[in-house]
Amino acid sequence: MQLPDAAFLTDLMSESLNSPPQGKPRVRFAPSPTGFLHVGSARTFILNWLYARRNGGTMILRLDDTDVERNTDASVNSIFEGLKWLGLSWDEEYKQSERGELHRQMAETIFQKGLAYRDFTPAHAGDSERSGAQGTWLFNPGMRELSRAESDRRAAAGEPFALRFRVPREGGVVRFTDAVYGEQMKAGADIEDFALLRSDGMPMYHLASCADDADLRISHIIRGQDHLSNTYKHVLIFEAAGFTPPQFAHLPLLVAPDGTKLSKRRHGPVVSVTTYRDAGFLPEAFINFLCLLGWSPKNDREQMSRQELIDAFSLEGINRANAVVNFKEATSQPVVIPTLSEEKGRNLLSSPEDTFDPKALWLNAEHIRGLAIEDLSQRLLPIVQGAGFNVLPERMLRITPLIRERIKLLRDVLTAADFFFVDQLPPYDPAELIPQKGDAAMALKVLQRAKEVLANVEFKHDPLDQGLRAAAQELGIKAGQMFQPIRVAVCGRKNAPPLFETLEVLGRETTLARIEQAIQKAG
Ligand code: GLU
């Protein structure tokens, strides 16, 4: 049976279609495991997840792993590793490669309705006949017109064929409403007779995706805007197979500052989720950042917890404009994170400001400030220990409040608090020891007096404060002039956490040893 083209859609509409379930949404993240977990894919997961969690729905992870030549285990691992780091969960999990039978059944249904045809054109010849006689997208017009009897005869004789969708021509129009991009419409004449099955019987992406979405009763397909143009074909497949298409919501593209689509080849590691993990982003901050790429919450707040994101999420807040990830293109080379033994805790990232979007860094710093000290301390400890320092949890707990306001990335702990971890300070310029409006002689005097005071005073904030202020008075200098040489002596630099708290944590022995070293330098 073959339906006349013009009647195609009308006939379909008069059939009773299987509707997706009413009520709780079922959404899916369907990555093809052909690379690492891209930030755009992570955002797609998260926005689906927010939608499911907001509406009491079901989150499904489906690996679109039918492309055996391009799939890798490393890629599957990278997807799971990235999602695990982000602490994102799902309720059901499927592998498309295990569902081939279901895909073929859907192809058979469509074929039996006359809405697909066998194409016996040898694979290599198909491409050259891409455009048909009337300028329509026919791969091989002769095949579309082949009678069913002739088609059956050639198939029975064992001739290989691909199965192509018979796209309605002449007046046929495919429509759908996208929750983000609105009404979409395309003439059937502008859609090629796309393949459902390859000549080796393997299902093609469009078929497999729709068969799974229908079988898994997906209610909303939320995915990247690059799939918007595929959706016409998907609508055709759903309807041909007797299903009402799900709702579609396409997400704006993530682009680099120059407007090009973010890609690993072009933009390097800034595109990969693990780069953010390794650089010391908090998963909750990174999720927060990703959500804001293309979605504007009604409340206009930017820093939000996971629960706040869930509560605020709606598809209406998704924008159409491309979302720009800001970074300096020139420095988007692989981010080198050397081990501490090579770098002694300095210059771990050549410049996070150049590598990462300023908003991502700002959000991360805000989320860090919002963490309880115990929580932050526990997250910092493995980084410090991993860099080769033997720091005990109790000590880390005391250091953490001193640097919490001073770090944007967790790994910044290695530069912000390095002087707590090392036995020997890295070399510093003795000129740093000279106080403001003072000279080398004043620096030396301060350090010598400090050595005496600090040999006796109790190593607690108030006694340290009182003792050193009194010493400044005796020397006839300002308190700040007293503190600076001491700070540089114990930290190796001027820009450091509050002095008395720092001394308390360092303790008398280390403090006196470092002051003695500074005296040698200044003398
Ligand atoms: N496997 C497809 C991709 O990774 C899925 C697209 C879709 O969500 O339908 O692009």
Ligand 1 in contact with 30 (CB < 6 A)? yes
* Residue of 301, 293, 309 lying closest to 44 (CA atoms): 293
Residue 4 has pLDDT above 70, yes or no: no
- CATH code of the domain containing 395: 1.10.1160.10
Helices (H), 87-133: 100-112, 123-126
* Of the residues 421, 453, 484, the one at which a domain ends: 421
How far CA 381 is from CA of 292, 384, 474, in Å, comes to 30, 5, 41
Distance 277 CA to ligand 1 centre (A): 24
Looking at the domain assignment, is residue 2 inside a domain? no
Q: Do 96 and 167 share a domain, yes or no? A: yes
Closest CA to 164 of 107, 97, 104: 107
Mean pLDDT score of the chain, rounded to an integer?
A: 90
Any idea what the Cα angle at residue 263 is, between residues 410 and 249, rounded to 5°? 95
CA atoms 423, 379, 40, 37: torsion sign = positive
pLDDT at 124: 52
Residues 52 and 27 sit within 8 Å (Cβ to Cβ): yes
Q: Would 79 be classed as within a structural domain?
A: yes
Q: Are residues 224 and 270 in the same domain?
A: no
Domain of 501: which CATH number?
Answer: 1.10.10.350
pLDDT for residue 99 is more than 80: yes
Q: pLDDT confidence of 10, banded at 50, 70, 90?
A: very low
**Do residues 243 and 389 share a domain?**
no
513 CB burial (10 A radius; 0-12, 13-18, 19+): middle
Check residue 122 and give its pLDDT: 80
| pLDDT higher than threshold 70 for residue 438 | yes
How many angstroms separate the CA atoms of 375 and 265, rounded?
36
For the segment 316-322, the average pLDDT, to the nearest whole number, is: 97
| Residue among 461, 462, 482, 460 at smallest CA distance from 471 | 482
29 Cα nearest atom in ligand 1? 8
Distance, CA of 460 to CA of 95 (rounded, Å): 60
Query: Is the CB of 209 inside a 6 Å radius of any atom of ligand 1?
Result: yes
Residue 403 CA, chain-centre distance (Å), reads 27
pLDDT of amino acid 8: 40
Q: Please give the number of the atom of ligand 1 that sits closest to the Cα of 230.
A: 9
> In this model, does residue 369 exceed pLDDT 50?
yes
Q: Are residues 294 and 152 in the same domain?
A: no
- Contact residues for 217 (Cβ-Cβ < 8 A; gap 6+): 20, 21, 26
Mutate to test the pocket of ligand 1, among 176, 221, 223, 237 (most ligand atoms within 8 A of CB): 223
Sequence-separated (6 or more) residues with CB below 8 Å from residue 107: 116, 163, 196, 197, 203, 207
| Number of residues assigned to the chain | 523
Count the neighbouring beta carbons within 10 Å of the beta carbon of residue 292. Answer: 20
Instruction: Single out the residue in 421, 456, 487 at which a domain terminates.
Output: 421
Judged against a pLDDT cut of 50, whether residue 5 lies above it is answered with: no
Q: Tell me, yes or no, whether 436 lies in a domain.
A: yes
Helix, strand or coil, per DSSP, at residue 375? helix
CA of 42 to the centre of ligand 1 (A): 12
> Quick one: which atom of ligand 1 is closest to the CA of 224?
8
Contacts of 177 (CB under 8 A, 6+ apart): 183, 184, 248
What is the residue with the minimal CA distance to atom 6 of ligand 1? Answer: 30
Q: Are residues 43 and 70 in the same domain?
A: yes
User: Do the domain assignments include residue 296?
Assistant: yes
Residue of minimum CA distance from atom 5 in ligand 1: 30
120 belongs to a structural domain: yes
Q: Tell me: the pLDDT tens digits for 387-420?
A: 999 999 999 999 999 999 999 999 999 999 999 9
Higher pLDDT, 462 or 19: 462
Distance 443 CA to ligand 1 centre (A): 65
Q: Is residue 158 part of a domain?
A: yes
CA-to-CA distance for 272 and 260, rounded, in angstroms?
16
| 32, 49, 66, 97: residue to mutate for ligand 1 pocket, most atoms within 8 A of CB | 32
Q: How remote is the CA of residue 256 from the centroid of ligand 1, in Å?
A: 21
What is the residue range of 489's domain? 430-522
Let me know whether 406 and 351 are in one domain.
Answer: yes
**Considering Cα of 262, then 266, then 268, then 272, what sign does the dihedral take?**
positive
> pLDDT: is 48 or 132 the higher one?
48
Q: Give the atom of ligand 1 at the shortest distance from the alpha carbon of 31.
A: 4
Of the candidates 47, 71, 67, 72, the one whose C-alpha atom is nearest the C-alpha of residue 57 is 47
**Which atom number of ligand 1 is nearest to the Cα of residue 223?**
8
Same domain, yes or no, for 461 and 513?
A: yes
- pLDDT tens digits along 123-149: 655 443 444 333 335 567 889 999 999
The total number of structural domains in the chain stands at 3
Is the Cβ atom of 484 under 6 angstroms away from ligand 1?
Answer: no
What are 173's strand-pairing partners? 187
Q: Which of 112-126, 185-199, 276-290, 454-468 has the lowest mean pLDDT?
A: 112-126
Is 259 among the domain residues? Answer: no
Q: 32 in ligand 1 pocket by Cβ < 6 Å?
A: yes
Task: Find out whether the beta carbon of 230 lies less than 6 Å from any atom of ligand 1.
Answer: no
State which amino acid sits at residue 38: H
Instruction: State the closest ligand 1 atom to the C-alpha of 221, by its place in the atom list counted from 1.
Output: 8
Cα angle for residues 59, 295, 288 (degrees, 5° grid) = 70
CATH number at residue 160: 3.40.50.620
43 to 30, 166, 278, 289, 462: CA distances (angstroms): 12, 35, 18, 9, 49
Q: Are residues 309 and 415 in the same domain?
A: yes
Pair (438, 392) in one structural domain: no
Q: Are residues 366 and 456 in the same domain?
A: no
**Residue 288 is encoded by which pair of tokens?**
């927060």
Residue where a domain stops, chosen among 387, 421, 455: 421
Q: Which atom of ligand 1 is nearest to the CA of 28?
A: 8
Judge if the beta carbon of residue 48 lies within 6 A of ligand 1: no
Q: What is the pTM of this model?
A: 0.88
Structure tokens at 69: 């030549």
**Same domain for 447 and 338:** no
Is 318:181 a contact under the CB 8 Å cutoff?
no
Which tens digit of pLDDT belongs to each residue from 233-289? 999 999 999 999 999 999 999 999 999 999 888 888 889 999 999 999 999 999 999
Write the pLDDT tens digit of every residue in 151-191: 999 999 999 999 999 999 887 899 999 999 999 999 998 99
290 and 338 fall within a common domain? yes
Of 243, 249, 240, nearest in space to 220 by CA: 249
Question: Per the domain annotation, does 99 fall within a domain?
Answer: yes
Q: Is 220 in the pocket of ligand 1 (CB under 6 A)?
A: no
Nearest alpha-carbon partner for 380 in 348, 354, 413, 356:
413
